[in-house]
Structure 1
Amino acid sequence: MNWIFLIIAGLFEVGFTTSMKMSNNFTNHKWTAAFIACISLSFYLINMATRTIPLGTAYAVWTGLGAAGTVIVGAYFFNEPLSMARLFFIATLVGSVIGLKVVS
């Protein structure tokens, strides 16, 4: 169950980074509220996950999922470049996250 908490925490990390961008330096109150909700839920869920998952593993998975998800959101919604090199390193990151799950 704690791995599920960790994966959902990573998704909320993508939510808070996206909301932060959309908030326009926290001047858009709807997106600022979404940022606060997402970051609160993300931290709560990673805290729950670290009950049984080692802290270093949980943090690496959380940031890896958040980073990969944020790159994908940036490319899809904000037209940020998605070169072959970026795709390679995202795949490496996701592979590392899977590897941490396997060895934990």
Structure 2
Amino acid sequence: MNWIILIIAGLFEVTFAFCLGKVKETTNTEMYLWFAGFLVALSISMGLLVKATQTLPIGTAYAVWTGIGAVGTVLIGIFAFNEPTTFPRLFFLTTLIISIIGLKIVSG
């Protein structure tokens, strides 16, 4: 169950990174709404990470959490913010995904 909580925490990390990107692109009231979304997503993500680390090793949980956030944020950047999709970028993104899966496998 805590692996599921950790995955959800990672997805909220992606959400707060997306909101941060939107803060950068907007102004006035809309910027503050995206910033509020950033704070809410950040709080949920951290709270779920704390919950997951009650039974999972901290090193593994943190690495998986940041890995999910990194992969998701790169994908959000590509699809929502028109960032480049070069071969090296996709290659290293793939190696990161493989590493996250590997950590899950060896952590039991």
* Interval of TM-score (by shorter of Structure 1 and Structure 2): over 0.9
**Which residue identity does 1:63 align to in structure 2?**
T
Matches within 5 A, 1:1-104: 1-24=1-24, 28-104=31-107
Structure-2 separation of matches of 1:62 and 1:29: 26
**Which residue identity does 1:66 align to in structure 2?**
G
Percent identity, aligned pairs only, is 54
**TM-score, length-scaled by structure 2:** 0.92
**Which residue identity does 1:39 align to in structure 2?**
L
Structure-2 separation of matches of 1:78 and 1:85: 19
**Unmatched 5+ residue regions in structure 2?**
none
Determine helix, strand or coil for the equivalent of 2:72: helix
Q: CA RMSD in A?
A: 1.4
Determine helix, strand or coil for the equivalent of 1:80: coil
**TM-score, length-scaled by structure 1:** 0.95
Structure-1 separation of matches of 2:67 and 2:86: 19
Structure-2 separation of matches of 1:24 and 1:92: 29
After the TM superposition, list the runs of 4 or more consecutive aligned residues in structure 1 that deviate by more than 6 angstroms: none
**Unmatched 5+ residue regions in structure 1?**
none
Comparing 18-27 and 44-53, the one that deviates more: 18-27
